[in-house]
C-alpha cells in the first residue's frame, strides 16, 4: 500500500500534500505549488482542473532556472528532478482529464 504524500518538496509541493497554510513558500517551485493548492481549493478540490494544472505547469517552467540556483537552505533534493517530477505528474493528470471527458 502506498502512503501519502507520494512526493513532498518544500512546504506546498506533493501528491496528496497541501502544505503549511499561512507560511511563506521555501522557493520559486514551492510558490508554484502553493498557488496550485489555492487554485484547487477554489475549484471545490478539483485536482484535475485544467486551468489549475496548466497554471502549475507554466509556473514551474518559468521558475525552474531560478529555483535551481536559489533553492532553500537544508534542501537535499535535486531541484531539476523535482521540477521534472511535478511536470510529469501534472501532465499525466491533464492527459487523464482529457480522456475522461472525451466525447466521441
Which of the residues are catalytic? 36
Per-residue exposure over 7-27, b if at least 16 CB sit within 10 Å of its own CB, e if not: ebbbbbbbeebbbeeeeebbb
> CA 34 to CA 21: how far, in whole Å?
9
Amino acid at each position: 500500500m502506498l502512503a501519502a504524500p507520494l512526493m513532498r518538496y518544500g512546504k506546498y509541493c506533493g501528491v496528496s500534500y497541501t502544505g503549511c497554510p499561512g507560511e511563506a513558500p521555501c522557493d520559486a517551485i514551492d510558490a508554484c505549488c502553493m498557488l496550485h493548492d489555492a487554485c484547487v481549493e477554489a475549484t471545490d478540490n478539483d485536482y484535475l482542473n485544467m486551468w489549475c494544472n496548466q497554471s502549475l505547469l507554466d509556473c514551474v517552467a518559468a521558475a525552474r532556472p531560478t529555483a535551481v540556483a536559489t533553492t532553500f537552505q537544508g534542501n537535499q533534493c535535486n531541484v531539476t528532478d523535482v521540477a521534472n517530477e511535478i511536470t510529469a505528474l501534472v501532465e499525466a493528470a491533464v492527459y487523464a482529464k482529457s480522456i475522461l471527458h472525451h466525447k466521441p
